[in-house]
Amino acid sequence: MLALVAMAAALPLLAIAQADDPAGVGTLTLMAMGPEYAAFVTRPDDPSLRAYITRAAAGPVTLEWSAGLPEDSFAAEARSATLAGLSPGVYLVSWWSGQVRAAGKTLLSGLGATRHVTVGSLPAHVTLDAPDGIAAPTRLNIVWGRVGLPSDVSVYVDDIYIGHAFDSAELSVFGLAKGDRRVRIAAPGYRPLDLTVALSTRHETTRFVRLPRLDGEE
What per-residue confidence (pLDDT) applies to 84? Answer: 86
Q: What is the DSSP code string of the chain? A: -EEEE--S-PPPPEEEEEEE-TTS-EEEEEE---SSEEEEEEETTEEEEEEEEEE-TT--EEEEEEESPPTT-EEE-SS-EEEEEEPSEEEEEEEEE--EEETTEEEE-S--EEEEEEESSS-EEEEEPPPPPSS-S--SSEEEEEEEESSEEEEEETTEEEEEEESS-EEEEESPPSEEEEEEEE-TTB--EEEEEEE-TT-EEEEEEEPPBTTS--
Residue 136: CB atoms within 10 A of its CB come to 12
Which residue did the predictor score with more confidence, 133 or 27?
27
Max mean pLDDT among 36-40, 123-127, 197-201, 204-208 falls in: 36-40
| Side chain identity, residue 182 | R
Whole-number pLDDT of residue 32: 76
> Which pLDDT value is given to residue 95?
77
Domain boundaries, the chain: 10-98+110-128
Q: Name which of 29, 207, 12, 46 is nearest 128 in CA terms.
A: 12
Q: In the predicted model, is pLDDT for residue 3 greater than 50?
A: no
Q: Which of 144, 130, 163 is nearest to 208 (CA)?
A: 144
Whole-structure pTM value? 0.57
Q: Which top CATH class is 10-98+110-128?
A: mainly beta
